[in-house]
Amino acid sequence: MGNMLNKTIPKIFFISSKWRNKEKVEKLTKELRNLRFEVISFLEYPINKDVIKKDPEEEMRKWEAMTDWEGNERVKQIAQEDKKSINRTNTLILYIFGTVPKKVGLGRCENKGFLG
């Protein structure tokens, strides 16, 4: 049992953000992978394979104008992907650069597997 306590747990990053930050998230993902970290990026979800090719600002306008988000199948699928990603990772990066008011606290969250 003593060896288990000394075992190094590999860092697995999950990056989530708004589409407006697409280029910054792509850059961060690349930099972390160059450092040999495993990275899960919301941009790489299978459900986003077509959206990734489109203009991020236009996609954000559509997303923010959505009125049926509670019953929207795409929203449900993205939430499921987020849940899977959170449960696979031990480090969440919520990239909010330029998208929130200045008075926002930043913190560290440790995944304890609470999302089932």
Domain edges within the chain: 1-45+90-97
2-11, 50-59, 98-107: which has the minimum mean pLDDT?
A: 98-107
Which pLDDT value is given to residue 5?
Answer: 60
Which pLDDT value is given to residue 26?
Answer: 95
Which pLDDT value is given to residue 103?
Answer: 45
Sign of CA dihedral 72, 112, 109, 6: negative
Which pLDDT value is given to residue 6?
Answer: 59
For the stretch 25-80, pLDDT in tens is 999 999 999 999 999 999 999 988 988 899 988 988 888 888 888 888 988 999 99
pLDDT higher than 90, residue 107: no
Q: In whole angstroms, give the CA distance from residue 82 to residue 15.
A: 10
Q: What is the 3-class SS of 11-34, one letter each residue?
A: CEEEEEECHHHHHHHHHHHHHHHH
CB-based burial label for 41 (10 Å; 0-12, 13-18, 19+)? buried
pLDDT level of residue 116 (50, 70, 90 thresholds): very low
CATH number for 1-45+90-97: choose from 3.10.350, 3.30.1380, 2.40.50, 3.40.50: 3.40.50
pLDDT level of residue 3 (50, 70, 90 thresholds): low
Q: In whole angstroms, give the CA distance from residue 54 to residue 43.
A: 12
pLDDT higher than 60, residue 110: no
SS3 36: coil
